[in-house]
Amino acid sequence: AGAETVKRAVELDVASRFQESLVCYQEGIDLLLQVVKATKDEAKKHRYRQKISEPTFFSDGKYHKQIRIEENATGFGYEKLFHEYLTEIVSEVWVEDPYIRHIHQASRYSLYNFLRFCEMLIKGPCKVKTIHLLTSCDEGSGRSQQMSGLEEIQQSLRNYGVTLNIEFSSSIHDREIRFNNGWMIKIGRGLDYFKKPQGRFSIGYCDFDLRPCHETTVDVFHTKHTKKM
């Protein structure tokens, strides 16, 4: 009930019904606190406390939610992180990340991570038709591998009726993801917040929910309350 009340609060805030939203947030947090007091399961207590500690800020009608991912935390796969913002009306996605590069770059798995993100969009309730990627161009021998990987993803998406538009910028620094339903997500480390798997046959290699994460911060905004669209 507490979680549903908080969810309702978010919906009211997006609809600019801020007073009702604030009441729902207060009621939802109170309900969650009651559950924490009554629960003996320490794992559940930790999960409820984490939910309560996710701050949502209101200032002149602006929406801002912040999620802190701790070092080595698990349970933050792309589906879990993005699912509540990928509504059925989402048809266009913008990804800005300077490090969508080949798989050997500084032991990063950025191209694979971007591919996994695209797979999530294909499977989701949304009907994505266009993905815009803005990233930086790899230098030296890595450039051909980066282009080859991106072109392969582009062709594969085309088989699912999705167009991938790729642009490069030498000055890009920001990392953000935007959906055309108004949600904007900024991740401190971009899509590459997962740690390198311990081995090809270790738990978490395939399932990102089980993959340990680097410490990072996720900021969620609604673009109707921001200047940039």
Which range is most confident: 18-22, 43-47, 194-198? 194-198
Q: Does 3 have pLDDT greater than 80?
A: no
The least confident of 104-113, 179-188, 194-203 is: 104-113
Q: What angle do CA 207, 121, 48 make, to 5 degrees?
A: 55
In percent, how much of the chain has pLDDT > 70?
Answer: 77
**pLDDT value at position 146?**
87
Q: Mean pLDDT over residues 19-26, rounded?
A: 65
DSSP secondary structure string for all residues of 8-55: HHHHHHHTT-HHHHHHHHHHHHHHHHHHHHH---HHHHHHHHHHHHS-
Q: Does 107 have pLDDT greater than 60?
A: no
On the CB side of 210, CA atoms within 13 Å amount to: 9
Candidates 214, 182, 103, 189; CA nearest to 148 is 103
Report CA torsion sign: 15, 222, 11, 68.
negative
Tens-place pLDDT, residues 120-164: 999 988 899 999 999 998 777 678 888 889 999 999 999 999 999
Do 1-53 and 64-225 agree at the fold level? no
- Structure confidence at residue 73 as a pLDDT band (50, 70, 90): very high
Candidates 193, 205, 5; CA nearest to 82 is 193
Q: Mean pLDDT over residues 50-72, rounded?
A: 70
Fold of 64-225: Endonuclease; Chain A (3.30.870)
Tens-place pLDDT, residues 197-221: 888 899 999 999 999 999 999 999 8
Q: Mean pLDDT over residues 53-63, rounded?
A: 55
Q: Does 70 have pLDDT greater than 90?
A: yes
Structure token digits, residue 133: 């990627």
**Looking at domain 1-53, does it have CATH number 3.30.360.10?**
no
Domain ranges of the chain: 1-53, 64-225
For the sheet with 56-59, list strands across it: 56-59, 62-69, 216-222, 183-187, 176-179, 92-96, 130-135, 163-168
* Strand 163-168 to 130-135 pairing: parallel
Average pLDDT of the chain to the nearest whole number: 82
Please give the residue that has the higher pLDDT: either 138 or 114.
114
DSSP secondary structure letter of residue 69: E
- Structure confidence at residue 52 as a pLDDT band (50, 70, 90): low
In percent, how much of the chain has pLDDT > 90?
Answer: 43
Q: Mean pLDDT over residues 189-203, rounded?
A: 91
**pLDDT value at position 19?**
56
In this prediction the pTM is 0.71
Distance, CA of 132 to CA of 95 (rounded, Å): 6
- Residue 81 is inside which H or E element, if any? helix 78-82
